[in-house]
Structure 1
Amino acid sequence: MASVGFRWLDILEKEFDKAFVDLDLSISELESEDPDLVYNVRQKICTLSSCFAQLTHKAQTIFQNSAKVEAELIHMRAELTESKSKREVLETELHHLLLQLHSSQLSRLPDTLGNKRLDQYIKPEINVIKQKLEAEIRQSPLRGALKDADELKFSPSLLEPAQYKANIVQLQSENSALRNELLALTSEVYGAKLAAKYLDKELAGRIQQLQLLGREMRGDVRDKLWRQLESEILLQRHKTVVRACRRNSALNGTNKCSKPETESNPEATEHFGDIRSVLVKRKPDQGLGISITGGREHGVPILISELEPNGPAAVSEQLYIGDAILYVNDIDLRNACHREAVSILQQQQGDCTLQVQYIAADESDNSLEEDGFNFRFFDENVCDTNNATNYKVTEEIVITPTAPRTPESSSGSR
């Protein structure tokens, strides 16, 4: 992979040099007409060339580090298979030595002829057990490779089969993981295609609504259509801000980005949660432990963008990233700008009562997932890399992608 990256970088440099020379020759034809403009353009081109050179240098550094990591990975893989093979040989050797130990202990037991007090059935049982141990020792793979007087050691004839076996197991595991990743990427492609088709239909519907706004129509119909478009724009803007805040919080690892529990009510609004009243208890001269974003000037309400770990708001366990703050101690923040909201929150003393409402993003949004996959056509058991050795393609498809929905458009734009 590293060699491919360097080859790609060489081709890209040649293409850039060729385009740079052609552009310089084209500009030189205009030098007699407007030399000042040509000089400024060449200065900009030199800046672009310098940026490309720095980018190329950084890319070379990344490719070199990637080559080192790849070499270390190959070396560690070889060491892993070798250690597994040695472990298998050692386990076989341990089993062989235990068999010899038991056989030796049985041979040291007293004979029935020398001690008449022993039971007459002890001697036959000892002989049977000893014969079984000797038979198992003769069937041992080490027995055929070594003589009785030889010492056990890592000979090539014993180690090579174990290494081959460990390599096969390792390659099977990697193959299963790659096949699982291929399934996930395939589902991403098909899901993205379906989402693109849906968004094309959504875009066509929005264009049609905008065209209707340009026509002459009754005032109430026009106002209703404009309010619908404006509400959809504000909702999408709100969900974008909430998604960005939750993603940043997840990347920083400050909290688990939990969501409030909602009752499964089919008649409830799709994205809006219930208005909750939360009492935040705090000590004197202690802040609320939250960061806010949004405001009237941004077209979104006051949102909680971050919860301070072990802060009063986080300790209450009733506030979540993405909550819209409607009231604080009966002070209305619904139409407040960002600066006014910050000032009001800082002026509050002692315990604070917040009225908040959670506006969820789309259920199909998996931007917080660790693997980064947004669409899941297959069962978790199919695409589970931890269970790669038991790779089985199930026919049941549990989760299918759901295109993002907007209010009053889920049924009319299919």
Structure 2
Amino acid sequence: MSDYDLFVIGAGSGGVRASRIAASHGAKVGIAEEYRVGGTCVIRGCVPKKLLVYGAHFAEDLQDCVKFGWDIEGKSFDWAKLRDNVAAEVDRLEGLYRQTLGNNDVEIFECRARLAGGGKVELSDGRTITADKILIAVGAEPFIPEIEGCKDHAITSNDVFHLPELPKRIAIAGGGYIANEFAGIFNEFGSKVTIINRSDQILRGYDEQMRDRLLQISMTKGIDFRFNAKFKKVEKQGDGSLLLTMDGCDDMEVDQLLFATGRVPNTQDLGLDKARVETEDRGAIKVDEYNRTTAEDVYAVGDVTDRIQLTPVAIREGHAFADTQFGGMDRTIDYDNVPNAVFSHPPIAGVGLTESEARNKLGGQIKTFTSDFRAMKNVLAGRNERSLYKLVVDASNDRVVGIHMIGPEAPEILQAAAIAVKAGLTKSDFDETVALHPTMAEELVLMR
């Protein structure tokens, strides 16, 4: 008899969901977590970052409110207060995740776990656990390249939430969503922000018009960009500042260097070789549509696999795994039309095919409809920032195959609009829907 029907390595979003659902189906479940329950999203990712985004929005709201009749004197920003309040909220959420596991009789092991082969898991406290099925859900970690001085002096997104003070000058390496989100946050808090990108574009993979609009707005807000630039060396100077020796742009001095150059699966020292679990070139665990690895009775979900690195995707994978293995169901995940967002300033949101993807996939038989406008709030506030919405339509059948947006509350609007794309609705269906006025979202049904 094994100690557990299921043993999960990693108590992030996917691991916790799989544990809870498996236990609800009657399985005896154990879970190992070496740091904190909740994983990247709750502890050091999307949740605390979104709280910083909310905090950053007040910078512009306090400027704009004057035109709406408000007179606010003596406004100031206290980084330590926001940082500590966010940390307290993270503590609260971790407690809820622990409570969820406890309520479902999932036993938590607060230590590191490694595969030992043959249905065994070795814990860092010296114990060995046996399980009928093992699920790997350890997520991913920030990537820092091998550049002189970087690992000694640079920080990652994990460290932002613990900064003792707000940097006056910060350089952010990378051009993806993490880089642009933190660029917007620090810029609104008053830091001088420079994005350093080794390519000539930001947000590769997003719709071109959306990323061009974000670049334009970001530059207007005062964020500097250095394209086709690479790091040669990072040195700490006597006054505590950092000297960045560059290739492709001028050297610079900053107070903080943040690397946001992607995330890699957290598979180091996990015992994969011993259990004969195969990985891809970048370390991601190979799985099939049922989350099975190349080892018998070993499975994997979430960012540790080479699929879509999004928390809701990991949750769905964990749920489908538990239903299939312990609930007598046959469940797989549909990875088409997964909505995504960049919580930049302003935010971007999208679902389905971008315009270029649609042209490649549909042989050019597409139509696009756009609305380029200023939100009513921005008009009265005197803010010239413009929003942009786009519908990508398959001309052969009138189906809306993509929606892309940049503007205030774009992610909130896109979540509902994504249902239409998933359901295969047509442009005519959009046109026949009565507009909800006055809203920004009404632009989705007014494009002609």
- TM-score in terms of structure 1 length: 0.19
- TM-score in terms of structure 2 length: 0.18
More helix by share: 1
